Structure 1
Amino acid sequence: MDLATIYNQAHADSLFLKDYKAWIGLHRKTPNKWEWIDGGDYTFQWPSNEGNNNNENCAVIGYNYYNDKRIYSRECDTKSFSACRIINSSSVTIVQEMMTWSEAKDHCMKINQELATFTKEEMTFFSEQNFPIWIGLHRNDSSWKWSSGLQEDKYWKLELSDNKDCVTITSKTKTLAAENCQTLRPFLCMKENVILVKENKSWEEAFEHCRGLGSNSNLRFNLLSVKPGDEHKYVVNRIKEADTNEVWTGLRFLGDEWLWINGKDVLYSDLLKCPPQGRRCGAISKSNSSTVAARDCQERKNFLCYSY
Structure 2
Amino acid sequence: MATWNTVNLDDVAEWLEENDYSAVWIGLHQDSQDFGWRWINVRTGVGLTGDDVTQSENWSNTLDVGELLLGKCGALLSNSKKWDNKVCSSDLPYICFDDNLLLITENKTWEDALNHCRSLSTSSLKYDLLSLSTLQSQGYIRDRIYKATTDQVWVGLRFLGDNWFWSDGSTVSEQDMLSKCPAQWKFCGAVSKNGTDEWMTRDCSERRNFICASTEVEN
* TM-score, with structure 2 as normaliser: 0.70
Deviates more, 1:166-175 or 1:243-252: 166-175
Alignment of 1:301 onto 2:208: yes
Deviation per residue, 1:7-58 (Å, 9 max, x gap): 28x9434x242345xxxxxxxxxxxxxxxxxxxxxxxxxxxxxxxxxxxxxx
Deviation per residue, 1:78-127 (Å, 9 max, x gap): xxx7xxxxxxxxxxxxxx7xxxxxxxxxxxxxxxxxxxxxxxxxxxxxxx
Conservation of the 8 A alpha-carbon contact between 1:224 and 1:306:
yes
Q: Could you say which structure has the greater relative contact order, defined with CA pairs below 8 angstroms and 6 or more residues apart?
A: 2
Distance 2:114 2:85 in 1: 41
Question: Which SS does the other structure have where 2:211 is aligned?
Answer: strand
Aligned residue among 4, 7, 13 for 2:5: 7
Deviation at 1:271, TM superposition (A): 1.0
Distance 2:42 2:28 in 1: 9
Structure 1 pair 209–177 and aligned structure 2 pair: CA distance change class (3 A): farther
Aligned residue among 134, 137, 140 for 1:231: 137
Structure 1 pair 177–228 and aligned structure 2 pair: CA distance change class (3 A): same
Conservation of the 8 A alpha-carbon contact between 1:158 and 1:178:
no
Q: Which runs of 5+ in 1 are unaligned?
A: 21-62, 66-80, 82-95, 97-130
Distance 1:256 1:236 in 2: 28
Alignment of 1:219 onto 2:110: no
Higher strand share: 1
- The correspondence of residues 244-255 of structure 1 with structure 2, limited to 5 A, is 244-255=150-161
| Alignment root-mean-square deviation, CA | 3.3
Q: Which runs of 5+ in 2 are unaligned?
A: 54-67
* TM-score, with structure 1 as normaliser: 0.52
- The correspondence of residues 38-187 of structure 1 with structure 2, limited to 5 A, is 64=18, 131-137=22-28, 142=33, 144=38, 146=40, 150-152=41-43, 154-155=45-46, 157=48, 166-187=73-94
Q: How many residues align?
A: 194
Query: Sequence identity of aligned pairs in percent?
Result: 35
Structure 1 pair 303–186 and aligned structure 2 pair: CA distance change class (3 A): same
Deviation at 1:282, TM superposition (A): 0.4
